[in-house]
Amino acid sequence: QSATSLKISHQFPGGTISEGDFRDRLSRMFAAEVEKRSKGTLKFEVYPGSSLMKTNAQFSSMRKGALDLSLVPLSYAGGEVPEVNIGLMPGLVTSYEQGYSWKNAEVGKELNRILLDKGIVVVSWIWQAGGVASRGKPIVEPEDAKGLKIRGGSREMDLILKAAGAAVVSLPSNEIYAAMQTGAMDAALTSSTSLISFRLEEVSKALTSGRGAAYWFMFEPLMMSKAVFDRLSKEQQAAIMAVGGELETFARKSAQTDDSLVAAVYQKAGAKVVDLSPATVKKWQAIARATAWKDYGERNENCAKLLMLAQKTL
Amino acid sequence: MSHGFELKPPPGPALPDQPALAAVAKLLNLLNSALLKLSMAALVLTALVLTYSVVSRYFFQAPTDWQDEASVFMLVGVTFFCTAYVQSYRGHIGIEALAALLPRRVNLFRLFLVDLLSCLFCAFFSWKSWTLFHEAWRDGQTTSSTFAPPLWIPYAMMATGMTILTLQILLQTLAHMTNQPRQGEAP
Amino acid sequence: MSELTLGALYGAVTLVVMFSGMPIAFALGVVATGFMYFCMPASSLDTITQNVYEEMASITLLSIPLFILKGAAIGKSPAGKDLYSAIHTWLHKVPGGLGIANVFACALFAAMAGSSPATCSAIGSAGIPEMRKRGYSPGFAAGIIAAGGTLGILLPPSITMILYAVAAEQSLGRLFLAGIGPGILLVLLFAGYAVQRARKEYSLALKIYEQGGAKSAYLEDEHFTLAQKVEMLPRVLPFLVLLIGVMVALYGGFATPSETAGLGALLALVLIAVVYRVWRPMDLAPILSSTIKESTMLLLIIGMSLFYSYVMSYLHISQSAANWVVGMHLSKWLLLAVILLMVIVFGFFLPPVSIILMTAPIILPPLKAAGFDLIWFGIVMTVVMEMGLIHPPVGLNIFVIKNIAPDIPLKDVVWGVFPFLVLMFVAVLLLCVFPGIATGLPNLIMGVK
Ligand code: NA
Ligand code: NA
């Protein structure tokens, strides 16, 4: 029997199995380990840096069975499946413990059910904290955001920033650097790993780090097309799910390493690095509850249910 | 990159010889010119929208978050709405290096084949665009931004534009088959 | 079938379909769909349209029509001719001054338009007849305009650079700035050559006249009074307002690059309305329709070539080709030479936009791995593609010249542009030896990357 070849697509910078962006490394480790355990009946090709298709096309292509696997922030598909916006709901997850507890909690089971229904299998649960890079003073308390031009990067974060009195800026991610440099934008929120790869420390004076407490947690799982998954043998399916689960430890450790690393990088570049206190996180959470959570919960019944279940893990 | 810049405004695409086809061609030309006018307005409007977003952010401290997507939608519309118009003048450039080398009859056959294949491709693309439109409409898909405009709008423009383009090429192919041979001229 | 064989087949089929004369956009779509049908899962066919849409729905890409509009507003109104006359009034006393004036006019217009053929036609339609009227040989006149026009994609804004920035994931602002130094270098090289060649043609004309031959127009003296010269100055003002306005908006942090495109287009329309009274729908229609024609054709090619490269990537062709090149273990500079040679070969047949879209995914990873600065390479590649615009068989600027001055034999045009090809090659060498020509300015303004 000839080997089945599967494609893993992601938008992050490409590297090797031992070096580079941990999300790319995870994809490569996954490929190598599954290939081994499936005794070579499954082979993989990793496509980093959106070299196969545009980021936004990945989710839909997986649903149709035209793409096999992808590691992508789940909320990017929010326009197609509104429920998935829960994957980037500020304040709803405030620690790695809590995020990873979803998998076996009711909220995780419900999210899994909804995604399966849409033709998607979650292979590996990956959470990542993020922070704020700013070209002026650090944005710690909600009041600090007032009057500044900030890129929230998602619908939910934008709603919160607006409520905090910030001017929300929308622009493509490849223009963030230039916009921060010229001052077209004052601050940007994104994951710790992306804060490093965008090299924003060169144009920033301050960083609000996501190490320790954070209100910005993003769910970016390794996902697989259900249509493709169903065609595989029981053994192959088992190998995929087992390796996916085992890599979660690596993902969590790497994400936390990057949370510290980004702080070190900014410190070295001469930027002021500030950590969040649990009390500050509570303040952001209060705004989120009144804006983004409410907006999400009112989308449909599934959303309301997911939100309710997620709050149980708080 | 086109040569369109330096060309004098064309007198209008040549009508097919066959009367029924000529009538359809006239209708299609009317439709194309209406869509062109609409697109001209959309182009100026896009420039206005992007300028407004700068002005509003700097002078009124009221940033807009919809300007990029509104512009994308309008420019996608402009592109697809006018693609049949461009085709009516054979404005989609190709490499015509062979035209000078081949005998006239072979050339005619080559042009027919090119049109037929182009037509089939555009028909296929139109069909898949309409399916995409249908999915977006049925599931209420939007973009994933804060502004979150519905995706059926650009998909519908893409599907409409490609459908008209298919008709345009089909008409050109049929005209090609029915036109009287002209002296020393490739149809 | 191995990936490289499949790649060769993909390339061969593409060449056949393209040379059949099928419009490039459809040719790319047909080839990609065909290979998708035979080599990819059936469900892929359902994703074609969404892929094309996602590729196109980028505000960076869609700023292209706005940059074209800005150029067309100037080039299709009397503004282009005025710019040219004003520079000429001031430079006509300098030996070869008319040639220099044309190079400068091309450069200034290039700084406003995003494409090379647009620059070529805007300046050439006034410039070529004027130069010939004053005795310049037809080939020389054609050469200056064809070469000067290529600056359109090197001096910002530039459509090809927009595409490159998207493909290479580099900052557009930085790339635009990097084009300015090499742009000035080429202007100086072109101008220097124009002086030398004009002198040669002048002395030849003088010799013929002294030996009793015909009196060339070179020998006629032309005079402008100071008043006439001063009177011409305000005509350059709208260009400066436009240039400076857009620069300040972009680098002063007022606007994002895509907003700058909209702002620039609107500013150009306002300027021609105020200065040249071009504002009625009837006056604007030719400007808008030519913009739409050019950008529709372009964007359809872009959309389809992104789809084409998706299929290529899915079939692992690009990656295998890149691996193959990397696997040859060429030294850093040999790798660059091989890649530039490939760009030149593509330049025989394809416009710069298509070259970028089709080669970027293949050539950028190995270049990055070899340690080249991708901003610098973007500039070098742009200069090499400028050469493609003026060399046969497919050279868009040559077609433009044939359109403006149909009576100049193609042979004369080709020989006329040849010296400029050599100068561009010299510029590429200089860029390799002194990369700072390109990277200096962006590093100065935006900080060292
Ligand atoms: Na330019
Ligand atoms: Na060429």
The pLDDT tens digits for B167-179 are 999 999 999 888 8
Contact status, residue A221 vs residue A215, Cβ threshold 8 Å: no
Q: Please, which pLDDT band fits residue B147 given cuts at 50, 70 and 90?
A: confident
User: pLDDT by residue (tens digit) across C295-313?
Assistant: 898 788 878 877 888 898 8
Q: Which two tokens stand for residue C371?
A: 């340690």
CA distance C266 to C242: 10
pTM of the model: 0.85
% of chain A residues with pLDDT over 70: 99
* pLDDT in the model for residue A1: 56
CB contact under 8 A, B144 and A78: yes
User: pLDDT by residue (tens digit) across C364-375?
Assistant: 878 888 889 999
Q: By C-alpha distance, which of C28, C10, C29 is closest to B123?
A: C29
Single-letter amino acid, residue C138: P
Burial grade of A137 (CB within 10 A; 0-12, 13-18, 19 or more)? middle
Among B63, B141, B148, beta carbon nearest to A155: B148
pLDDT average, residue stretch A76-82: 92
Q: Please, which pLDDT band fits residue B186 given cuts at 50, 70 and 90?
A: very low
User: pLDDT by residue (tens digit) across C156-196?
Assistant: 878 788 778 877 878 777 888 999 999 999 999 999 999 99
Residues in Cβ contact with A127 at an 8 Å cutoff, skipping those fewer than 6 apart: A93, A96, A99, A100, A217, A218, A219, A220, A251, A252, A255
Distance from CA of A90 to the nearest CA of B (A): 15
DSSP bridge pairs for A189: A132
- Given CB atoms, is C446 within the 8 Å cutoff of chain A? yes
A118: closest chain B residue by CA:
B139
* pLDDT in the model for residue C449: 64
CB contact under 8 A, A79 and B65: no
Handedness of CA A105, A106, A109, A115 (dihedral sign): negative
- Given CB atoms, is C443 within the 8 Å cutoff of chain A? no
* pLDDT in the model for residue C359: 76
What Å distances lie between residue C431 and A212, B93, C426, CA to CA? 48, 33, 9
CA of B94 to the centre of ligand 2 (A): 14
Contact status, residue C59 vs residue C97, Cβ threshold 8 Å: no
Q: Please, which pLDDT band fits residue C316 given cuts at 50, 70 and 90?
A: confident
Cβ neighbour number for residue A277 with a 10 Å cutoff: 13
Residues in Cβ contact with A131 at an 8 Å cutoff, skipping those fewer than 6 apart: A189, A190, A192, A195, A207, A208, A209, A210, A214, A216, A259, A262
CB contact under 8 A, A155 and B57: no
CA distance C362 to C101: 40
Residues 126-165 of C with CB under 8 A from B: 159
Q: Please, which pLDDT band fits residue C349 given cuts at 50, 70 and 90?
A: low
User: pLDDT by residue (tens digit) across B44-83?
Assistant: 999 999 999 999 888 887 778 788 889 999 999 999 999 9
% of chain B residues with pLDDT over 90: 59
Q: Given a contact as 3+ CB pairs under 8 Å, which chains touch C? A: A, B
* pLDDT in the model for residue C162: 78
- Look over chain A and give the mean of its residue pLDDT values, rounded to a whole number: 93
Q: Please, which pLDDT band fits residue C393 given cuts at 50, 70 and 90?
A: low
Residue C60 has pLDDT above 80, yes or no: no
Best of A16, A54, A63, A230 to disrupt the C interface by mutation (most C CBs within 10 Å)?
A54
- Given CB atoms, is B154 within the 8 Å cutoff of chain C? yes
CB contact under 8 A, A79 and B144: yes
Residues 209-238 of C with CB under 8 A from A: none
Among B50, B91, B154, beta carbon nearest to C263: B50
Q: Which of A125-129, B39-43, C224-228 has the lowest mean pLDDT?
A: C224-228
Q: Which two tokens stand for residue A83?
A: 């429920």
CA of C207 to the centre of ligand 1 (A): 41
Contact status, residue A165 vs residue A187, Cβ threshold 8 Å: no
User: pLDDT by residue (tens digit) across A247-279?
Assistant: 999 999 999 999 999 999 999 989 999 999 999
- Measured between beta carbons, which residues in chain B are less than 8 angstroms from residue C25? 92
Q: Does A249 or C134 have the greater pLDDT score? A: A249
CB contact under 8 A, C361 and A51: yes
The number of the ligand nearest the C-alpha atom of C111 reads 1
Q: Which of A186-200, A212-226, B32-46, C38-52 has the lowest mean pLDDT?
A: A186-200
Tell me the backbone φ, ψ of residue C374, rounded to 5 degrees: -70, -25
CB contact under 8 A, A7 and C257: no
Contact status, residue C353 vs residue C315, Cβ threshold 8 Å: no
Among B79, B97, B154, beta carbon nearest to C19: B97
Single-letter amino acid, residue B97: A
Q: Does C187 or C330 have the greater pLDDT score? A: C187
Most confident of A219-228, C229-238, C382-391: A219-228
* pLDDT in the model for residue B4: 34
B57: closest chain A residue by CA:
A167
Among C50, C166, C314, beta carbon nearest to A52: C314
Single-letter amino acid, residue A87: G
C399: closest chain B residue by CA:
B3
CA distance C415 to C197: 13
Cβ neighbour number for residue C159 with a 10 Å cutoff: 30
Residue B185 has pLDDT above 50, yes or no: no
CA distance C374 to C368: 7
Among B61, B65, B141, beta carbon nearest to A79: B141
